[in-house]
Structure formats: structure tokens, C-alpha cells
Amino acid sequence: MEFPADLKYTDNDEWIRVEGDIGTTGITNYAQDQLSDIVYLEIATAVGERLEKGETLAEVESVKAAAYIYMPVAGIITEINEELADTPEMVNSSPFDEAWMVKYEIIDPAELEGLLDMTAYEKHCQEREH
Amino acid sequence: MIEPLIYELSSPGREGVQLPEADVPQTEFPKGLTREGLPLPELSEIDVMRHFVRLSQFNHGVDTGFYPLGSCTMKYNPKINEDTARLPGFAFSHPLQDPEMAQGNLALMYGLQEWLGEIGGFAGVSLQPAAGAHGELTGILIIRAYHLDRGDNKRTKILVPDSAHGTNPATTTMSSMEVIEIASDERGNVDLNALRGHCDDCVAGLMLTNPNTLGLFEEHVTEVIKLIHDCGGLVYGDGANMNALLGVVRPGDLGFDVLHYNLHKTFSTPHGGGGPGSGPVGVLKHLIDYLPDPIVDVIEEGNDEVPPLYGLVRPSKSIGRVKSFHGHFGVAVRAYTYMRMQGKSGLRAVADHAVLNANYLRVRLRDTYHVPYDRICMHEFVAEGCWEDAPEVHAFDIAKRLMDFGIHPPTNYFPLIVREALMIEPTETESIEMLDAFVEAMIRIAEEARSDPEILKTAPHNTPLGRLDEVKAARQLVLCCRPAETNQS
Amino acid sequence: MAYIPHTDEDRRAMLAAIGLERMDDLYDAIPQDVRFPDLNLPDPVSEMEIMGELQALSEANLEVQHVSCFLGAGAYHHFIPSVVDHTLRRNEFYTAYTPYQPEISQGTLQAIYEYQSLMCNLTGMEVSNASHYDGATALAEAVILAYNQHRGKRSKVVLSPAIHPQFRQVVRTYSQGMGLTLVGDESLDNGVEELAGMLDKDTTLVAVQYPDFFGRIEDFSTLGEAAQEVGALLCVVVNPLALGLLTPPSDFGADVVVGEGQPLGIPLSYGGPYLGIFTTRKKYVRKMSGRLVGETVDNRGQRGYVLTLTPREQHIRREKATSNICTNQGLMALAIAVYLSVMGKHGLRKVAELCYHKAHYAAEQIAALEDYSLWHDGPFFHEFAVTCPRPVAEINDRLIDYDILGGYDLGQDYPILKDHMLIAVTEVNSKEEIDDLVAALEEMAHD
């Protein structure tokens, strides 16, 4: 399983793409594979809201599981992906691109330092396989 | 489609019952408050009867075949229970009639309270909770009320082992308490060190299922309970697995402060396709005053000539009502019938044979299916439904394939701490011949997993329907059908 | 030994296979000091004997088939067609459990799907769950739904004082740790207008009953609008049988409809098991607790039914689930599905009309008596409150001598309604029974 090198990751399987002071977040390929067919997604925040690192930004459900998606770093929500509510299966088909969930203004770039890079995250996934 | 929906069988103008004409003068209906036409189907009685008989034939029940669904205690439901519950004085008495005119019901309820108390080692019992989960809510609210009543306001943590039923953590949240998950050790017990680390003056209590969901009796139960009591907490017992303990050990003697029973598991009342259950709660003496309102008590002692007078009484510090009226009385009649017929010796024999059957299956299957916590179990055990040399096959496939042998699959994917879990509970009412037939089917499935995995992956083959598309059901929600005319409009 | 098939030889063979000598060896893990208590329980009895014992207990009760029953207050004596119990006695239905394995549970699943459909159509709502324990717990679950819908940010619940007292008690029990403020039911004077006046941006739910506890019926449209204005949910507690005649609560803008399902084919059975109706709008389906059945197809292309949206539930979501409910009232839901199918479009309407006409006849006759009057003069369904010339308990004590089970003593729950009796009349009460009741009441006023 491959993971984009230009992203940062959390050990709860969120990714973050940083462009200037804007972060974009969704869940990883590994996470969608573990959940299997995603049937429901609810963004639990709104544009303009400030969420702290670790606060819930979305909930997803497959047939057999439910998962909560958390903010990798603190941010003020600038955009949410409205399309996902109607097509949650995009999380399965395009986790790193079309199925981004929220964009936000990063409040403290120093928080990015604590996140995993591709290699560290890949290792984290392999460890859980066994 | 294997059977049309009731609305699809409807024919305009057809009627299923004949009702008498009004024998009183008619009164005008209130303006603006009545509806036009009722969106209900139109069928004759035979259409209805045949429809539901056909539907019943698509079901597997205990009376159809073996049903080793772990943690659900699918024992045989004696037919006499159904007859006693329908005796007219029980089935046609009104919950609000004067208790003096319901003395038979109250005597029965009082008797059941007493027997449940005796079996569990508890001083007080409420029959009000409608199901196991409802009993859990009742019990945790009692624990909460107890601490608050003593001015002990900071106890908000409930400790829950990781092997617990999902209802335990959900109940805790519903009672506005915080869940702290406790790990299990390598023998399937509560990890004492993990537990010790969480015992402080914020602990309201511990929810403990014993035997636990691995079917194992908690080996350190005395230490576990002492740890909780020493830090000022109370211990809640999830009595889902009480079948193994009848006449063997009383949770109250072990120090459990409060426990729920499942009449629909342990005491043979039918599961009804998912309910009604009944989840009475027993408590030690210090919690009696907090029981739900009302309980049945003796108002005037009887003597040789006159029976006692029973009444409904509100415990002084009651958490309140948890449901309307007096609980699932009809279920209580069935449980009473069963307990009375089994008596003291019969109830012990129930536990003995439930445990014997589970252990027999465990030893006969363990060479074929890995049993991760392989020691003498109680009423059930958990095996793994997967093999390294058959990587394609999962517990799910084994479950589906078992249906082709006319057997209801064990519980799968629970408890969460065993991978590909198959939780097997045979109950005491199954004979050695049935158990052997199950073992043979399981062994054959294990062989197929290597020789012809496809037959498992595509199972079941002999059922009216094949595997159902649960993803479609969840993505394109179709949750009800409308009558034909509304569909067209 | 009844219900245990093991012979001595079976036991020997099985113990040998396990590697144990005696049955008692199975329990080595249990602390010795408390093992094998000597229980104070009676000895076993045979099937023949138990029937006699239980018949005696049964006969020690008054039962509504042998008296004229005018007692309701949330549990009603109605006619139940035979086909209902014949279906409930089908072993395949009542000895099955929750339909976890859809391929061998289509009977239960389709019956629940039909129950859900019948409930949606009767209440006018879009989604029904597979049922709650009873009407009272369904109302408590409605409060929890609203609370979660508002993400715990609204803390006020407005309850009409005319909701069944026991339902309100159960809501208070369920919510005791939730930090909610329950208002509205402190005074019987709080009608629709007053309740609407209590709604604000902190209100999560307002609940009313229809017909209310006193049998009264009214239009709740303005309350529905007021609730919508502040973003609160409107919950209507119904008697489903009354909906055979009355405008469905969906017309009032109800967000949740709950109710006691007992009138639809479930015997009185001294208060249970009954069934809690829970229907709502599709937009709240994810916040709704309880089992839910949905339509799908199998791998052979056939239509079938499965439990769906299960990740809402406790076995998956654990401490994050909104309710701990595990089962539904499966067999009771089946009873209602059969009852509504056989009564059908015309039958249910007719039963509701009979209840209405007979209750109005009774009310008119009682109101004409010198010392009795109706407490309320607006529209009602099949139950009404009567102001009596003496304590209700006294009247009821005397009525029983005439084989009449009198109405409910409202003073028990509403001190202001001392000497007020709540009388229920259904299709099973003949004109003769009603006339006898009226005559007895009249006689009693005079001596």
C-alpha cells in the first residue's frame, strides 16, 4: 500500500496537506481499507469554527464499523467538502484526493512538527498488520 | 422476492374482520381533527394467516434446530410457559386495577423476586427492567444515586473490561458517567495491574460480566471486587451469563453489589425474534432503598388460614420508574413457571449440563479451531474462525456455511479481543447427538476451507435467500413501503 | 430430568472426553468458600402440578373478561382477532432471536419491515425503528435523540402536564444525570399556548400527548410552528388506535412520534410486555436509537431484508452509542403487524369510530346525572374525566359489586383532581354495560 510523500500523517490515520497556511485533511488509504465500504459520512463542524488538535471533525460509518476523524492540528475551518455526504464511497475510491474532508487555517505551524512523515506512517501501518 | 409484502397482497374492498355495528347513537366527529382514508392494507383473514405462516417458515428458531449463539443462551423454551402466561387472570388483568384485586399477580411477582434474590444472593429485586440493557441502566443509576446520596459527588468513572458487551460502555454513557476500559490478561481475566492503576476516589463502580464473554470464570474475582470496594466503588454484575452459576455460586456472596438477570436467557422465556426480554435487577442490602419504583412487598403478613396481602411499594430513595407499570409481567409468569418446575435441584442441573456441554464442544473442537484461552470454561467458549493455511476464509464464511447444515451460527466477531471470534454456547438442553453433529459439521467446514474455500465464500447455498447486500441496504436506505395509491401519486 | 436430555452414560462419556471425573470438577475456578450454596428454594414440580398452582394464582386476580372494564389510563381492553395469537405461537417466530443472520431470519426481518411500514403510514412519519420497550421509554429515547441532535448544547425539555404521569416519571429517571431542565408539567393550566411560551433557543424538545392523558384531542399545529421557530423538536405521544380516526401528528409538524403500542393487538397482561412506538423524520434517522430493518437484495438477485445502520448501536459504537438498547420488542411488533394487517383500512377505522361513539354516549349519560359533570368540554377520543360527588376509590369499591371495573383515580397523580375519575370506553363495552355503569353511578351519588 502506498502513501503520498508530500503529506503528513497521524497515528489515527488522518492525513494533512499543507499549502501555505492552509491545511487539508482526510483519511488514509489504510484507514478506508480497514473500514471497508463506507456508507455514511458526516462532517461535524462548520465553516468559521475553530477546532483544537484532536477534536472531532467528522464521523464515518461502514456496514460494520464507525470511526471518528480528528483534527491533526488546531485550525479555523475555511471549507468543507459538501459532496461527501451524498457520495461517501469516494472515501474508498479516492481517499487522498476527491475525499478531502475539511480545509482550515493552521493556527500554530509548530504543531505540524509532531506529525508522522510517509515512512513513519507506513511503519505504523505495518506494525498493526501483525 | 420470496414472499410479497403485506401491502402488495392488498386488494381494495377486502376485509379481515367483521365488527359489530354501533349500538349507541352516533356523535359527530370533531372538525378538522379526523383523517381521510387510512393508509393500511386490505386483506381477508386467510391472506393474513398464510402470509405470516410463510414468513415464519423463513426463520430458524430453537424449535427448528441447534442455535449455539454465544452469550444469548438459546435454550429450549418449555411449551407449558406459553400456556401459563396466557391464563386469563394473567393475560387479562389491568395494570392499574386495585392491587387487592391482583393478589395472584403480586404473589407471583413477589415469589419471583424472592427466588431471584435467593439464587443471586441479593436482598432486594426489582422486576421492572424490560431487558438486560435496561437492567444495566437501572443498576448504574442505582450506583450513581448511592454515591450522590452520601455526598460523594466526584465519583463519575465506571471501569469496564475490554471483553465486555457493548451495552456496558453504552449504559455508562447513557447514565452520564465516564467509561474507563480495563485490559484483559493472557488468561482472559481482568488485568489486576491495569485495574489497580485506575482505582481511586473517582471510581463509581466496575461493570463485570462473570463468567466473562470468553466463557471463563474470573479467576481473581475476589481480588477484583476487593480492589473496587477498597477505593469506595461498587461492583455491577452483568448477569447475561448467569446460566452457568445456578446453584453453583451466588454473585451476592462474591461481593457483587448489584446484578441484572436475563429471564429470556437463564430462565427459558422465549427470545421472541429479539424481544420482549426481561432484565430484573438484584441488589445487596445497602442498595435496596434505591430500587426502581415500585417493587412488590408484603403489606400484611399472612398466617395458616389467610395468605399475606401484597402491595406495590416505593423504595424510600428510589431512582424512579424505569418503565411504565410493572415490568414485563407476561415474561415473569413464564420464568416463574420454569423456576418452579426446575426447583432447587433442577436449577443446579441446568448449570451443570450447560457447562458440561460447552466443555465437551471445546475439547472436541480445539484441535480443529484454535481456542485462545483454553481452560475449563463455563457455559460457553470462544474459538478462532481462521487458519493460516486458508487465508481467504473468515469467521463470517464459517458462519454462513453452517446454515447449510441446518445450524444457526455462533456469535461472530465478539468478543473483540479474539480475532475472527466464534462464540459458542450450546446450552444444557442439547443432547450429545446434537453436539456431535455440530462437531462433524464444523470439522467438515474446516476441511472445506482448505480443499474448496469457494464453497464457504459463497455460502449459504441451501437457504431461501443467499448472502444479502448490506452495503446497498445502508447506502440506499429503504426503510418502509407505502400503500399502492401513494406510490402512484 | 425435564428439558435436559443427558443420560448417565452421556455424562460419563462427556466427562471422560473433557478429562474430568466428576461434574463438580467443572467449577474449580470458583472460590471454594462460596461454592455450591445451599439454596432455600422449593423442590421441583411436574407440568401437571404447576398448571394447578398457576391456575390458582391466575384466579386470584380480577380479569377484564369477567367484568365491564372502564379502566384505561394508558392500557386498554380491546378486541384481539384470533389470528394474532395464532401467529405469535408459531415456534419459528417466538423461539428465534435478533435476526443477526439474515439468510435464516427473513421471517422476523420482513415482519419488522412491515411493522415499520405500518407505523410510518399510521403516524404519517418517514422512518420507524423496530420498537422500544414501551411508550414511556420511547418518550425518554425521544428526549435523548433531541439532545444528541443538538449535540448536547440545549438543555431544556418542555413536557405537557397532560402526558401520562408514568411516562414523565420515566423521562426524569432516564435523564437524571444529563443536566437537563424539565419544565411545563408543574401545572395543569399549561396548555398549548403556555407551553409554546416556554420555548426558547435552549429548548431541545417539546412533548405533548394526543389524545392526551385525559382523552382530549387538539390541534398542535401552532406548537409545531413555535418549536420550529426556535429549532426545538416537537414530539407527539400518541395512542396509535386513535390514529385510525384522527389526523396524523405529521400534520402538526411532529419531528418524533412515540406511543404505547398496546392497543394494537397486545393483551393487557398486567402491564407488559407492551411496545414503544418510535417514528421520526428521515433526517433524524442516524440519531435514532434501536434496531432498524432495511430492504436490499441477495447474491441471487432476490429482494430481502437486513438489519441496517447498525454502527449507530451499542455493539459497535460502545461508549459512543446514543442508547444502550440492544433488542426490540420483536414478538410484540409482530403482533401489531398482524393486528393492523387483519383489521386493515376499514377495520381499524371502525374500531376507532366505535370507541369514539361509545365513549361519547357514556360521557353524555354521565354528564346528565345530577351529581356528576365532565371536567372538560372540548373534543375527546375514548376517554374523559368526570367530576364525582365522592372519592373515586369509594365509588370503585362499590362498582365492583356490580361487576364493573371503574375508571382511574386522577387524584393519585394530580392532587387538584381529587374526586375525578378517568373513564375509558372501547369497542368491547356494550350499550348495556354503559347503561349499567351510569345507573350504578347515579345510585351511588344518592346514598
Around Cβ B186, how many Cβ atoms within 10 Å? 8
CA distance B52 to chain C (A): 7
Tell me: the pLDDT tens digits for C15-42? 999 999 999 999 999 999 999 999 999 9
| Chain C neighbors of B10, CB-CB under 8 A | 344
Three-state SS at C279:
strand
Cell of B124: 432486594
**Does C217 sit within 8 Å of B33, measured CB to CB?**
yes
Percentage of chain A beyond pLDDT 70 is 98
Q: How far apart are the first and last CA of chain A?
A: 15
| Chain B neighbors of A40, CB-CB under 8 A | 474
Q: Which chain B residue lies closest to A130 (C-alpha atoms)?
A: B419
Tell me: the pLDDT tens digits for A27-56? 999 999 888 899 999 998 999 999 999 999
Tell me: the pLDDT tens digits for C143-197? 999 999 998 999 999 999 999 999 999 999 999 999 999 999 999 999 999 999 9
Which residue in B19, B25, B249 is closest to C35 by CB distance?
A: B249
**Whole-number pLDDT of residue C3:** 93
- Amino acid identity of residue C147, one-letter, is Y
| pLDDT surpasses 80 at B140 | yes
Best of B470, B476, B477, B478 to mutate (most A CBs within 10 Å, chain A): B470
CATH assignment of the domain containing B268: 3.40.640.10
C309-319: string of b/e by CB count within 10 Å (b at 16+)?
bbbbbbbbbbb
Tell me: the pLDDT tens digits for B312-335? 999 999 999 999 999 999 999 999
| Chain B neighbors of C130, CB-CB under 8 A | 274
Cell of B65: 434446530
The answer to whether position B130 is within a domain reads yes
**Whole-number pLDDT of residue B485:** 55
Between CA A69 and CA A25 the distance in angstroms is 9
**Whole-number pLDDT of residue B416:** 81
**Whole-number pLDDT of residue B187:** 85
Looking at C318-406, list the stretches that DSSP marks H as alpha helix, in order from N- to C-terminal side: 330-367, 392-399
Best of A63, A64, A68, A70 to mutate (most C CBs within 10 Å, chain C): A63
Q: What is the mean pLDDT of chain B?
A: 95
Cell of B302: 399472612
Q: Which chain B residue lies closest to C362 (C-alpha atoms)?
A: B24
Residue of C406 and B414 predicted with greater confidence: C406
Q: Which chain C residue lies closest to B353 (C-alpha atoms)?
A: C4
pTM of the model: 0.96
**Does C318 sit within 8 Å of B170, measured CB to CB?**
yes
The answer to whether C42 and B344 are in contact (CB under 8 A) is yes
Tell whether B31 is within 8 A of chain A (Cβ).
no
**Does C329 sit within 8 Å of B359, measured CB to CB?**
no
Between CA C14 and CA C20 the distance in angstroms is 9
| pLDDT surpasses 60 at A130 | no
**Does A40 sit within 8 Å of B474, measured CB to CB?**
yes
CATH of C68-79+345-446, one of 3.90.1150.10, 3.30.460.10, 3.40.1280.30, 3.90.950.10: 3.90.1150.10
Tell whether A79 is within 8 A of chain C (Cβ).
no
Across the strands, what pairs with B260? B238, B281
Tell whether C316 is within 8 A of chain A (Cβ).
yes
The answer to whether position B402 is within a domain reads no
Tell whether C318 is within 8 A of chain A (Cβ).
no
The answer to whether position B243 is within a domain reads yes
**Whole-number pLDDT of residue C447:** 67
Domain that holds residue B128: 80-341
Around Cβ C390, how many Cβ atoms within 10 Å? 12
Around Cβ C55, how many Cβ atoms within 10 Å? 15
Tell whether A39 is within 8 A of chain B (Cβ).
yes
Best of B2, B24, B475 to mutate (most C CBs within 10 Å, chain C): B24
| Chain A neighbors of C310, CB-CB under 8 A | 63-64
**Whole-number pLDDT of residue B296:** 98
Establish how many alpha carbons lie within 13 A of residue C388's alpha carbon, considering only the half-sphere containing its beta carbon.
29
Tell whether A85 is within 8 A of chain C (Cβ).
no
**Whole-number pLDDT of residue B37:** 87
The answer to whether B396 and A64 are in contact (CB under 8 A) is no
Kindly report each contact of residues C364-368 with a partner whose C-beta sits within 8 Å and lies 24 or more positions away, as own/partner. C364/B27, C365/C434, C365/C435, C365/C438, C366/C423, C366/C437, C366/C438, C366/C441
The answer to whether position B38 is within a domain reads no
Cell of C68: 365491564
The answer to whether position B387 is within a domain reads no
| Chain C neighbors of A42, CB-CB under 8 A | 286
**Residue the block writes with cell 475476589:** B222
The answer to whether C41 and B347 are in contact (CB under 8 A) is yes
The answer to whether B334 and B268 are in contact (CB under 8 A) is yes
Write out the DSSP string of B275-335.
------EEE-GGGGGGSPSPEEEEEE---SSSPPEEEEE--TT----SSSTTS-HHHHHHH
Three-state SS at B146:
helix
The answer to whether position B452 is within a domain reads no
Distance of CA C112 to the CA centre of its chain: 17
Tell whether C310 is within 8 A of chain A (Cβ).
yes
Percentage of chain B beyond pLDDT 90 is 93
| pLDDT surpasses 50 at A16 | yes
**Listed range (A51-65, B127-141, B330-344, C308-322) with the worst mean pLDDT:** C308-322
**Residue C174 main-chain phi, psi, to 5 deg:** -60, -40
| Chain A neighbors of B471, CB-CB under 8 A | 37, 39, 63
**Does A64 sit within 8 Å of C311, measured CB to CB?**
yes
Looking at C214-297, list the stretches that DSSP marks H as alpha helix, in order from N- to C-terminal side: 221-230
How does residue C373 score in pLDDT terms, banded at 50, 70 and 90?
Answer: very high
| Chain A neighbors of B413, CB-CB under 8 A | 64
**Whole-number pLDDT of residue B44:** 98
Can you give the residue ranges of every domain in chain C? Answer: 68-79+345-446, 82-338
The answer to whether B310 and B283 are in contact (CB under 8 A) is no
Which residue in C89, C126, C295 is closest to B82 by CB distance?
A: C89
**Does C270 sit within 8 Å of B22, measured CB to CB?**
no
Between CA B262 and CA B241 the distance in angstroms is 8
**Whole-number pLDDT of residue B489:** 34
**Whole-number pLDDT of residue A2:** 80
| pLDDT surpasses 70 at B183 | yes
Burial classification of residue C101, based on how many CB atoms lie within 10 Å of its CB (0-12 exposed, 13-18 middle, 19 or more buried): buried
Cell of B87: 391464563
**Does A66 sit within 8 Å of C316, measured CB to CB?**
yes
The answer to whether the bond into C211 is cis (omega within 30° of 0) is yes
Q: What is the mean pLDDT of chain C?
A: 96
| Chain A neighbors of C316, CB-CB under 8 A | 64-66
Torsion sign (Cα): B338, B344, B345, B347: positive
Percentage of chain A beyond pLDDT 90 is 81
CA distance B476 to chain A (A): 9
Torsion sign (Cα): C361, C406, C413, C372: positive
Tell whether B477 is within 8 A of chain A (Cβ).
no
CA distance B60 to chain A (A): 23
**Residue the block writes with cell 484526493:** A97
Burial classification of residue C343, based on how many CB atoms lie within 10 Å of its CB (0-12 exposed, 13-18 middle, 19 or more buried): buried
**Residue B472 main-chain phi, psi, to 5 deg:** -60, -45
Count CB pairs under 8 A between chains B and C: 676
**Does C286 sit within 8 Å of A65, measured CB to CB?**
no
Around Cβ C60, how many Cβ atoms within 10 Å? 17
Between CA C239 and CA C81 the distance in angstroms is 19
Tell whether A68 is within 8 A of chain B (Cβ).
no
Cell of C145: 435523540
Domain count, chain B: 1
Residue of C130 and A63 predicted with greater confidence: C130
Tell me: the pLDDT tens digits for C4-22? 999 999 999 999 999 999 9
- Mean pLDDT, to the nearest integer, of C187-210? 97
Tell whether A42 is within 8 A of chain C (Cβ).
yes
Cell of C304: 430481502
CA B298 vs CA B47, B112, B310: distances in Å:
50, 13, 5
CATH of C82-338, one of 3.40.640.10, 1.20.1290.10, 3.40.50.300, 2.60.120.260: 3.40.640.10
How does residue B40 score in pLDDT terms, banded at 50, 70 and 90?
Answer: very high
Question: Which DSSP state fits C73?
Answer: T
Tell whether B470 is within 8 A of chain A (Cβ).
yes
Tell me: the pLDDT tens digits for B272-293? 999 999 999 999 999 999 999 9
Cell of C221: 399545529
Residue of B70 and B163 predicted with greater confidence: B70
**Whole-number pLDDT of residue B488:** 37
| pLDDT surpasses 60 at A118 | yes
Which residue in C1, C329, C379 is closest to B33 by CB distance?
A: C379
| pLDDT surpasses 80 at B430 | yes
Question: Which DSSP state fits C242?
Answer: G
CA distance B125 to chain C (A): 16
Cell of B399: 458462519
| Chain C neighbors of B59, CB-CB under 8 A | 92-93, 96, 104-108
Between CA C403 and CA C437 the distance in angstroms is 10
The CA-based dihedral angle spanning residues A89, A93, A96, A102, taken in that order and rounded to the nearest 10 degrees? -20
| pLDDT surpasses 50 at B159 | yes
Between CA C302 and CA B433 the distance in angstroms is 36
CA distance C256 to chain B (A): 16
* Domains of chain A and any CATH numbers: 8-129 (2.40.50.100)
| Chain A neighbors of C311, CB-CB under 8 A | 40, 61-66
Q: Which chain B residue lies closest to C58 (C-alpha atoms)?
A: B89
Tell whether B474 is within 8 A of chain A (Cβ).
yes
Between CA C146 and CA C164 the distance in angstroms is 20
| pLDDT surpasses 80 at C395 | yes
- Mean pLDDT, to the nearest integer, of B19-45? 96
CA C126 vs CA B156, C112, C283, C286: distances in Å:
38, 15, 9, 13
- Amino acid identity of residue B183, one-letter, is A
Three-state SS at B235:
strand
How does residue A126 score in pLDDT terms, banded at 50, 70 and 90?
Answer: confident
Between CA C412 and CA C420 the distance in angstroms is 10
Torsion sign (Cα): A46, A51, A53, A55: negative
Tell whether A40 is within 8 A of chain B (Cβ).
yes
Q: What is the mean pLDDT of chain A?
A: 92
Tell whether A66 is within 8 A of chain B (Cβ).
no
| pLDDT surpasses 80 at C346 | yes
The answer to whether B60 and C32 are in contact (CB under 8 A) is no
How does residue B486 score in pLDDT terms, banded at 50, 70 and 90?
Answer: very low
Contacts of C23 (CB under 8 A, 6+ apart): B352, B356, C11, C15
The answer to whether B133 and B276 are in contact (CB under 8 A) is no
Q: Which helix (H) or strand (E) holds C445?
A: helix C431-446
Across the strands, what pairs with C156? C181, C203
Strands of C133-273, DSSP E: 156-159, 181-183, 203-210, 233-238, 256-260
The answer to whether C336 and C262 are in contact (CB under 8 A) is no
**Does A65 sit within 8 Å of C320, measured CB to CB?**
no
